[in-house]
Amino acid sequence: MSETFEMKPEYKDKPIRSYVIRGGRMTDGQKNAFDHAWEIYGLSLFGGMFDQQQVFGRQDAPLVVEVGFGMGDSLLEMAQAQPEIDFVGIEVHPPGVGRLINNAAKASITNLRVYMADAVDVLEDCFADESISRFQLYFPDPWHKKKHNKRRIVNPEFMQLIRRKLALNGVSHMATDWEPYADHMMEVMSTAEGFTNQQEEYCFSPCPDYRPLTKFEKRGERLGHGVWDLLFSRNT
């Protein structure tokens, strides 16, 4: 599939990205969603700064931003379960975006919007500093091979971008099912300036009630596979 998501022109030549554009055909429902639901749920990288009052009609609600929502089922479930919170998802995979906005429209969800663009661009260009209450990153691509580790989205530079965008005492919540990546995340977060672990140092957190378990995760649980959650608060 060609690069149909929004990308900054100068970013096209950047060699290291945290994703590959996967092929994968869109279902008719996902394709149609771009005709009928994108105008409700879609936000543009080139649309200027995100304005919560303008987008959601309120600015006192907590703002949660999730990067890499995949097919979007758990993000939709969270938005449905917590109407008092505003959710913004960022994803580059068009079928996943199509599925999420299609299902959001069917369920008449009003507290959710999406960007179909690179998260680094969106966070840098569209979100004011200190504007996000919680950052969510669930099961990011682990980039298992050592030579690919540099593609991991969790790295010191990215986490300082997140720190800037989080409000004071705002929360970074990540989860992974790949132990070496969990250890990597823990190392990055524990040595990052401006964050405090909500548990003891170097300890993982229990999964909070608001994060729904994915089908894949439930299967993994039955098979005895681990999942690691990390919750850190921005302290400075």
Instruction: Provide the binding-site residues for ligand SAM, judged by CB under 6 A.
Output: 18-19, 67-70, 90-93, 96, 118-120, 138-141, 153, 214
Q: Which is nearer to ligand SAM, 12 or 200 (CB)?
A: 12
Measured distance between the N- and C-terminal CA atoms of the chain, rounded to whole angstroms: 42
Shortest CB 110 distance to ligand SAM, Å: 22
CA torsion through residues 24, 65, 7, 142, sign: negative
Q: Which is nearer to ligand SAM, 19 or 210 (CB)?
A: 19
CA torsion through residues 11, 15, 18, 24, sign: positive
Match 């690069």 to its residue by tokens: 3
Shortest CB 138 distance to ligand SAM, Å: 4
Integer CA distances (angstroms), 76 to 49, 83, 227, 229, in order: 23, 11, 21, 20
* Helical spans, DSSP H, in the chain: 28-36, 38-41, 52-56, 73-81, 94-106, 119-126, 156-165, 179-191, 215-222
Active-site residue, 13 included: no
Q: Give the span between the Cα atoms of 200 and 51, in whole angstroms.
A: 36
Q: Is 75 exposed, middle or buried (0-12, 13-18, 19+ CB in 10 A)?
A: buried
Shortest CB 214 distance to ligand SAM, Å: 6
Shortest CB 127 distance to ligand SAM, Å: 13
Which one from 73, 141, 183, 229 is the annotated catalytic residue?
141
Q: Which residues are catalytic?
A: 141
